[in-house]
Amino acid sequence: MTVTLDDTKRMAIATQLAEMKALQQMLITNEQRLMDAISDNDIHQRLQTMLEQDQKNLGVLETVMIQHGVPSEPKETTEHHLEKIQSLMEGSELTLAEKVLQHELLKHQQTMAGLVIHKAAQSVGADVEAAIAPLHTVNFENRAHQEQLKGIVEILGVGELTGQEPDQGVWARVEDAVAALTGVVGSVVTRTDDEMSIRDLLLMDHTKADILFAEILGSEDPHKIQEYFAQLYQDVKVHGLAEEEILYPALSPYYNQMQEIVDQTDLVLEMLDAMKPLNPADPDFKTQVEHLRRAVRHHVDQEEQDIFPKLREHLSRDQQKRMASEFKAAKNRLQLKLQEQQQEDPSQPVSPTQTSQSSHRQRTQPWFMFMNYSLPWKTVFQTKAVINWVEAVILLLGDRWVRDVLHTEPLVNVEYSQLFYVIVFIIGIGYWWVSQDLSQNHGIVKLGIYAQFSVFTLLAYHTLIGHLHPFYLLSGILDLIFAILFSLFLYFHYKSHEST
């Protein structure tokens, strides 16, 4: 599909969002640097709060960029401008008050950029408005930060000029300004990225798809229809592939109709590819769009009715937020792949063939999907913890009885074996800790791998030379199996982080 005027507008918005992200990263760096340079406890605390909000808003911006669905990079002129400002903030040419003033000007620039994007979205399409909706949070908090920074500039500036503190009404005026601002725009502030779960992101995608379908079916302009379908094609394609990579593997153990959901997704992807070469001016095109809309709506209804309850039932809030991060990363990676393919052959519509083939390989290897997310691994670590505890208790209390049954000689130094079984029990506690948060305590996992390989090697050796009854080797074989599983866990964990 050829590039249209409104496609250019969407790209311009994407570039502005990329520049906002670059500026947001600079704001965070500046605030960290200013906190190190300012000793005033009140100012330090205000900057700390500002920093935390800006770090959260960086995530909001990333969400908006992914929901917009048009990857881009900042312009070179913007990058050079930010480099010059960073040099000033790092150097000694500016006083501390002047650096805070420069920071306030950057906040103003960020605020105006966000407001311009909001207005531009209104002229491009309702789907773009829906995608950039979380930007309201960033715009509002940047305006509040401006008022805070004006107060800091006043305090530091007066001190640098006179060596004295200004009158005590500075912060009262600041708080009044922030309160007035809240009254004006507080009602339009949307949910923050810090609160977003995988369910929130999926609902945002579903809403945007509904809007795009409505825009296509409600338009009589072939150029607008072409633009909307190009956006719909990319959004639905990326959404479906990301679901097959992140969402479905995680919930497949808890939903026995998952294959039906996967088949629905495959059908929608095939329909998209079949519609790709069609002419938007063809009278039959909207009929095909309506068939696609019904297929998507059927899939969305089943997903929201069946999958969403499974998310609430089986995933904690933190797990849903982590899955949201993985889902966003997967979408971003897929969007970039689609863009690269379009750049390689601009005469063709966006065609994620390689990505589809990759997804097909995953669908034909469901065992591989088991390894891809956290829920099954929680069961693995908890199972090993219980095995450790059971083995430790049985052998700690009944080793002599077991040896009598097996007709083997009693141990010479019983205290050493008892100490070993106590350690086995304690390591089991470590495995249980790992299962509670699979993103933490990887040192315990590595230690467990070394220990289990060592135990298996020693038990196998002493069994072969006749020092141990083969019964004891069963424990070593279990350790070997779990050592391999733990190694796979670390491999897939680090692999997924490298890919994102």
Residue 360 host element (H or E): helix 353-363
List pLDDT tens digits, range 223-257.
Answer: 888 888 989 999 999 999 999 999 999 888 888 88
Average pLDDT of 374-382? 73
- Return the amino acid letter for 414: V
Average pLDDT of 124-150? 83
Distance CA(402)–CA(391), nearest Å, equals: 12
202: exposed, middle or buried (Cβ count in 10 Å: 0-12, 13-18, 19+): buried
- DSSP reduced 3-state for 181: helix
Distance CA(349)–CA(359), nearest Å, equals: 20
By mean pLDDT, which of 190-194, 242-246, 330-334 is the weakest? 190-194
Distance CA(318)–CA(235), nearest Å, equals: 26
User: Taking each helix axis from N to C terminus, what angle separates 135-162 and 41-68, rounded to the nearest 10 degrees?
Assistant: 150
451: exposed, middle or buried (Cβ count in 10 Å: 0-12, 13-18, 19+): middle
Q: Which tokens sit at 125?
A: 């399409």
| Residues 6 or more apart whose Cβ sits within 8 Å of residue 287 | none
What distance separates the 2 farthest-apart alpha carbons in the chain?
93
Res. 375: pLDDT tops 80: no
Average pLDDT of 63-90? 90
Question: What is the pLDDT confidence band of residue 378, given thresholds at 50, 70 and 90?
Answer: confident
Token pair 């406890």 is at which residue? 41
Mean pLDDT over each residue of the chain, to the nearest integer: 81
Name which residue leads in pLDDT, 399 or 291.
291
Tell me what percent of the residues of the chain surpass a pLDDT of 90.
30
DSSP readout, 396-442? HHHHHHHHHHHT-PPPS-HHHHHHHHHHHHHHHHHHHHHHH-TTS-H
Res. 360: pLDDT tops 80: no
What are the Cα distances from residue 3, in Å, to 7, 75, 181, 425?
A: 6, 20, 40, 65
Q: In the prediction, which pLDDT does 439 show?
A: 67
Average pLDDT of 53-73? 89
CA atoms within 13 A on the CB side of 476: 18
List pLDDT tens digits, range 157-173.
Answer: 888 888 877 665 665 66
Q: In the prediction, which pLDDT does 3 show?
A: 39
Please state, as a whole number, how many other Cβ atoms lie within 10 Å of the Cβ of residue 71: 20
Q: In the prediction, which pLDDT does 490 show?
A: 84
Helical H segments across 94-134, by residue range: 96-124, 126-131
Q: Are 130 and 211 in contact, with CB atoms under 8 Å apart?
A: yes
| Residues 6 or more apart whose Cβ sits within 8 Å of residue 314 | 251, 254, 375
CA atoms within 13 A on the CB side of 58: 13
Distance CA(37)–CA(89), nearest Å, equals: 11
pTM: predicted TM-score of the whole model, two decimal places:
0.59
Res. 465: pLDDT tops 70: yes
Res. 200: pLDDT tops 70: yes
Average pLDDT of 342-358? 46
Residue 49 host element (H or E): helix 41-68
- DSSP reduced 3-state for 365: coil
Q: In the prediction, which pLDDT does 351 show?
A: 36
Distance CA(420)–CA(428), nearest Å, equals: 13
Query: What topology does CATH give the domain 198-368?
Result: Four Helix Bundle (Hemerythrin (Met), subunit A) (1.20.120)
Q: In the prediction, which pLDDT does 472 show?
A: 75
- DSSP reduced 3-state for 336: helix
The domain segmentation of the chain, as residue ranges, is 5-195, 198-368, 375-499
Distance CA(248)–CA(239), nearest Å, equals: 12
Q: Are 160 and 95 in contact, with CB atoms under 8 Å apart?
A: yes
Domain 5-195, classified CATH 1.20.1260.10, yes or no = yes
Distance CA(55)–CA(116), nearest Å, equals: 22
By mean pLDDT, which of 93-107, 190-204, 222-236, 313-327 is the weakest? 190-204
Angle at 313 between CA 308 and CA 314, to 5 degrees: 100
Whether 198-368 and 5-195 are alike in CATH topology: the answer is no
Res. 373: pLDDT tops 50: no
- Return the amino acid letter for 319: Q
Q: Are 459 and 468 in contact, with CB atoms under 8 Å apart?
A: yes
Q: What are phi and psi of 176, to 5 degrees?
A: -65, -40
Q: In the prediction, which pLDDT does 364 show?
A: 41
DSSP 326: H
By mean pLDDT, which of 70-79, 349-358, 404-413, 482-491 is the weakest? 349-358
Q: Can you say how many angstroms the Cα of residue 146 is from the centroid of all Cα atoms in its chain?
A: 29
